[in-house]
Chain A
Amino acid sequence: MIVVVGAGPAGIAAALRAQECGARVTVVDDNPAPGGQIWRGDSNVWLTRFRASGIPFIASARVITGDAQAQTLLVETPEGARKLTWDKLIIAAGSRELFLPFPGWTLPGVFGAGGLQALAKSGLSVADKTVVIGGTGPLLLAVAAYLRQHGAHVKLIAEQASPAGLAGFAKELLRNPNKLLQGVALARHIAGSPYVTNCWIESATGQGRLEAVTLRQGRRTWTERCDFAAIGYGLVPDNELATFLMNSPNVVIAGTGELNLAILEGEIAGFTVAGYPERALGLYGKREKAHRFATALQHTFALRHELKSLPRPDTIVCRCEDVTFGLLCEFPNSRAAKLHTRCGMGPCQGRICGPAAEFLFGWNPGSLRPPLFPAKIGSLMPATTE
């Protein structure tokens, strides 16, 4: 039995390819429906094929721990905990957004860029809302286009990268005609919303909720009133489970931030794990290309140093435990900070503040122990195996 964790593009591609090879596959995902972050609520060829495939899909199932020796996973579902046994495991857990703390980022109305899009895809009406988008990377453009299509007034897209860097990115686009077309399509959708480079959101203000953001470009700062701000500084892989089970030879990890690369990695993982690695041969070249593109993206949208000085001493870094930047500055590493300030001790288990602290202070993330995600105590008690 092959178990696939994650029903985003990589997981779906992996499951379908493995099934084509005659393997028995099950897919688990913590969302109510397949699609992952990018395809949430969409329909496309892959999703349609997946729905028609008859591959068992365990929805709303959060993997809370795994055992590399026993080859099991413990998953929590609304109906209770289940233990799944696997011969091969494909982890396609995707990524989350990177958030960098700045004054006011905890105000209600400041969302992740992908976060606001996800909420909109799950039914939030953004019509007539005024939105400022800030951060870095192509996701900002995709979010801007999506929100505008749904009636939002996107006042501005603040991209921290420099125009020179973006020119390099444009060259890379020319080498990928598909990407270029996507880019042109996006550009049409965001026309009318200024795309400002070398620019970032410096602070957010409001009484109990977001009312305005202050932007900076070089020496110039100015304020824009808005209902929502959508912020994203790139992606952080959700690699907790992968790291935890890394030592097993029967575990394969697939998928990273970029869509095409994720699909290709999923397909390759599916073929390989199902025992037909030769069928994946034709995909390696494409993956190489997708990989180059992803690397170029990373290079183009590398975070600039100035962002490290956004937080003020009283700016909260750990949102679960309300630990401030000033307090954290007194500690040499994440473990000392955690033990003495509670930074990262809350329910997000450091998923939000950990990557931020890594950027701000260069701190390594802490160690992993089950549950890899907060779980009901009842779920951690003896469970029956399936």
Chain B
Amino acid sequence: MAECIVIRVNGHAISVRDGITVAVALLQADELHFRTSVTGEPRAPLCGMGICFECRVTINGHTHARSCQILVREGMQVVT
């Protein structure tokens, strides 16, 4: 089994399996509000393959990061 690492989601530390994407980590933690649409709706991943941009979150201060394409790293700061 893969090892666990710790990332922070909106300030809360969560333990996740290494090797998974940020999108999977968030979904696994039952976080379904990834981004807020331009009219204020909550949105979550749709395509799972980097095309739709619905899974965007802020990672280590970088906005508009597509979480379905990025693997988790120890100490990563994720803001939805």
Quick check: do A and B touch in the complex, using CB within 8 A? Answer: yes
- Is A122 among interface residues, defined by CB-CB distance under 8 A? yes
Q: Are A348 and B52 in contact (CB under 8 A)?
A: yes
Contact with B along A197-231 (1 / 0, CB 8 A): 00000000000110000000000000000000000
- Is A260 among interface residues, defined by CB-CB distance under 8 A? no
Q: Are B38 and A209 in contact (CB under 8 A)?
A: no
Residue from A96, A106, A208 in contact with B51 in the complex, judged by beta carbons closer than 8 Å: A96
Given contacts A30-B69, A112-B48, contact A319 B21 (CB under 8 A): no
Given contacts A122-B24, A124-B28, A209-B32, contact A348 B53 (CB under 8 A): yes
Given contacts A106-B43, A208-B33, contact A124 B24 (CB under 8 A): yes
Q: Are A123 and B24 in contact (CB under 8 A)?
A: yes
- Tally chain B residues at the interface, Cβ within 8 Å: 33
Q: Are A319 and B33 in contact (CB under 8 A)?
A: no
* Residue of B whose beta carbon sits closest to that of A119: B48
> Which residues of chain A are within 8 angstroms of B54 by Cβ–Cβ distance?
319
Q: Are B33 and A108 in contact (CB under 8 A)?
A: yes
- Is A301 among interface residues, defined by CB-CB distance under 8 A? no
- Is B75 among interface residues, defined by CB-CB distance under 8 A? no
Measured CA separation A29–B75 after assembly (Å):
27
- In chain A, residues 91-122, which have Cβ atoms closer than 8 Å to a Cβ of chain B? 96-97, 99, 106, 108-112, 114-119, 122
Residue from B24, B32, B42, B51 in contact with A119 in the complex, judged by beta carbons closer than 8 Å: B24
Q: Are B68 and A119 in contact (CB under 8 A)?
A: yes
Contact with A along B62-79 (1 / 0, CB 8 A): 001000110100000000
- Is A37 among interface residues, defined by CB-CB distance under 8 A? yes
- Tally chain A residues at the interface, Cβ within 8 Å: 37
Most A CB atoms within 10 A — which of B48, B56, B69?
A: B48
* Residue of B whose beta carbon sits closest to that of A206: B32
- Is A322 among interface residues, defined by CB-CB distance under 8 A? yes
* Residue of B whose beta carbon sits closest to that of A210: B32
- Is A54 among interface residues, defined by CB-CB distance under 8 A? no
- Is B41 among interface residues, defined by CB-CB distance under 8 A? yes
The dominant DSSP class at the B interface is: loop
Q: Are B27 and A119 in contact (CB under 8 A)?
A: yes
Q: Are B71 and A32 in contact (CB under 8 A)?
A: yes
Given contacts A119-B24, A122-B20, contact A108 B51 (CB under 8 A): no
Given contacts A96-B51, A119-B48, A348-B52, contact A208 B42 (CB under 8 A): yes
> Which residues of chain A are within 8 angstroms of B34 by Cβ–Cβ distance?
108
Given contacts A108-B34, A108-B42, A209-B32, contact A352 B19 (CB under 8 A): no
- Is A320 among interface residues, defined by CB-CB distance under 8 A? yes
Q: Are A320 and B49 in contact (CB under 8 A)?
A: no
Measured CA separation A106–B56 after assembly (Å):
14
- Is A243 among interface residues, defined by CB-CB distance under 8 A? no
> Which residues of chain A are within 8 angstroms of B52 by Cβ–Cβ distance?
112, 319, 348, 351-352
Q: Are B48 and A118 in contact (CB under 8 A)?
A: yes
Most B CB atoms within 10 A — which of A37, A119, A374?
A: A119
Binding site for B on A (CB under 8 A): 30-32, 37, 60, 96-97, 99, 106, 108-112, 114-119, 122-125, 208-209, 316, 319-322, 346-348, 351-352, 374
Known: A106-B43, A122-B48, A348-B53. 20 other contacts (CB 8 A): A30-B69, A37-B49, A106-B37, A108-B34, A108-B42, A111-B45, A112-B47, A115-B45, A115-B48, A118-B48, A119-B48, A122-B20, A123-B21, A125-B28, A208-B33, A209-B42, A319-B37, A319-B46, A322-B38, A322-B41
